[in-house]
């Protein structure tokens, strides 16, 4: 459960970066470097304390914005949830049939609902809270002796049998009553989204440079290979 959480956590990080956003902790050295570059390039020294930031690239104006955050997990999921909500809304403006637009938009809104446990956790950090319960409080019956309602690992793995060819359909995780099973399926969807975007990026890369070659190598080593 903990390993699955972290796989989803870092997948969310990667997905943000695919969309020009980076949830990053700036250390003192990073801040000093940025201040120095700003001072030398534009004659301005920004007030930029060491902290977590959502760094966003605006491609139209070629500008970077630094939005300060506080918590490594809660704020990451909050930023990721905002991205999903934006995608769900923007999908409705695509040139496609109304049925197709609504269906795709619903996939993202369903994931938003699952990450917030249907609004009970507005920051979208339900996975993190479940992980904390298991890791620090030994709750939810996932430690031996196991609770009878604890999902069987082999049954959970049936959800991801289509990962290698991106043909997995998880459905709406909000319909799953067992919270531990819903946890895994929600995490699987986040991981699957990251893998799917990565594979698309691999397929459309124009030239195989040093960075893209390393990226492709990592994808081929992943569960989607």
DSSP state letter for 147: P
pLDDT at residue number 195:
86
pLDDT at residue number 142:
72
Mean pLDDT of the chain: 86
Span 33-47, mean pLDDT?
89
Span 90-109, mean pLDDT?
94
Non-local CB neighbours of 61 within 8 Å, separated by 6+ positions: none
SS3 96: coil
Cα four-point dihedral sign 182, 183, 186, 187: negative
pLDDT at residue number 220:
67
SS3 63: strand
Non-local CB neighbours of 21 within 8 Å, separated by 6+ positions: 54, 55, 56, 57, 79, 83
Check residues 29 and 63 and name the one with the higher pLDDT: 29
Give the model confidence (pLDDT) of 133-153 as tens digits. Answer: 888 776 766 766 666 667 777
Q: CA angle at residue 119 from 70 to 162, to 5 degrees?
A: 90
Cα–Cα distance, 24 to 26 (Å, whole number): 6
Does the pLDDT of residue 224 top 60, yes or no?
Answer: no
Does the pLDDT of residue 25 top 80, yes or no?
Answer: yes
pLDDT at residue number 10:
95
Residue carrying structure tokens 């890369």: 205
The answer to whether 115 and 124 have CB atoms below 8 angstroms apart is: yes
Query: pLDDT grade, residue 225 (50/70/90)?
Result: very low
Backbone angles phi, psi at 67, to 5 degrees: -105, 115
Cα–Cα distance, 75 to 81 (Å, whole number): 10
Span 14-32, mean pLDDT?
94
Cα–Cα distance, 117 to 1 (Å, whole number): 17
**pTM over cut 0.95:** no
Residue carrying structure tokens 């969309």: 19
């Amino acid at each position: 459960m903990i390993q699955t959480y972290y796989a989803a956590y870092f997948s969310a990080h990667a997905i943000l970066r695919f969309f020009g956003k980076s949830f990053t902790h700036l250390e003192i050295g990073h801040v000093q470097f940025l201040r120095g570059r700003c001072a030398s390039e534009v004659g301005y020294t920004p007030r930029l304390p060491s902290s977590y930031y959502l760094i966003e690239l605006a491609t139209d104006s070629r500008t970077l914005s630094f939005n300060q955050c506080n918590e490594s997990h809660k704020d990451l999921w909050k930023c990721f949830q905002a991205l999903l909500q934006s995608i769900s809304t923007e999908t409705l403006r695509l040139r496609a049939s109304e049925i197709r637009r609504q269906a795709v938009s619903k996939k993202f809104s369903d994931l938003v609902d699952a990450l917030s446990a249907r609004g009970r956790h507005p920051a979208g950090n339900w996975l993190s809270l479940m992980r904390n319960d298991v890791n620090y409080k030994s709750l939810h019956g996932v430690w031996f002796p196991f609770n009878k309602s604890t999902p069987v690992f082999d049954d959970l793995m049936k959800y991801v049998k289509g990962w290698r060819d991106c043909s997995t359909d998880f459905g709406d995780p909000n319909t799953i009553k067992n919270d531990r099973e819903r946890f895994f399926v929600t995490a699987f969807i986040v991981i699957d989204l990251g893998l799917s975007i990565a594979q698309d990026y691999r397929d459309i890369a124009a030239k195989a440079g040093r960075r893209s070659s390393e990226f492709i190598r990592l994808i081929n080593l992943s569960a989607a290979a």
